[in-house]
């Protein structure tokens, strides 16, 4: 995840909504302990990612 601020009112947030269980073990190996989602939360992470990507694609098509 990456967070940044420009001035007093512009905030940016970047994170990977496409994360899947298959990618989790690779990601965990390169992150500080406790910062990657745990396997028990991956159903929620995958569901949220599908919703966000679907919403983005719907917006892009309109």
What tens digit of pLDDT does each residue of 29-42 get?
A: 888 888 877 778 88
> What's the whole-model pTM score?
0.53
Residue 44 lies in a domain: yes
What is the domain extent for residue 27?
Answer: 19-61
Residue 26 lies in a domain: yes
Residue 3 lies in a domain: no
Q: At what angle do helices 21-28 and 42-61 cross, to 10 degrees?
A: 110
Dump pLDDT digits (tens) for 5-27.
888 888 877 776 777 878 888 88
pLDDT of residue 1: 60
Encoding tokens for residue 7? 């001035």
CB of 17 closer than 8 Å to CB of 53 = yes
Residue 34 lies in a domain: yes
Residue 39 lies in a domain: yes
Locus of tokens 């990456």: 2
- Enter the DSSP assignment of 37: P
Task: Give the count of domains, the chain.
Answer: 1
Residue 13 lies in a domain: no
Q: Distance (Å, rounded) from C-alpha 53 to C-alpha 49?
A: 6
Residue 56 lies in a domain: yes
CB of 29 closer than 8 Å to CB of 17 = no
pLDDT of residue 11: 80
pLDDT of residue 24: 81
Residue 43 lies in a domain: yes
């Amino acid at each position: 995840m990456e967070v940044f601020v420009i001035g007093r009112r512009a905030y940016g947030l970047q994170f990977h909504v496409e994360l899947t269980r298959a990618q989790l073990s690779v990601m965990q190996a390169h992150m500080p302990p406790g910062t990657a989602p745990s396997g028990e939360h991956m159903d929620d992470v995958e569901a949220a990612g599908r919703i966000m990507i679907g919403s983005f694609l719907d917006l892009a098509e309109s």
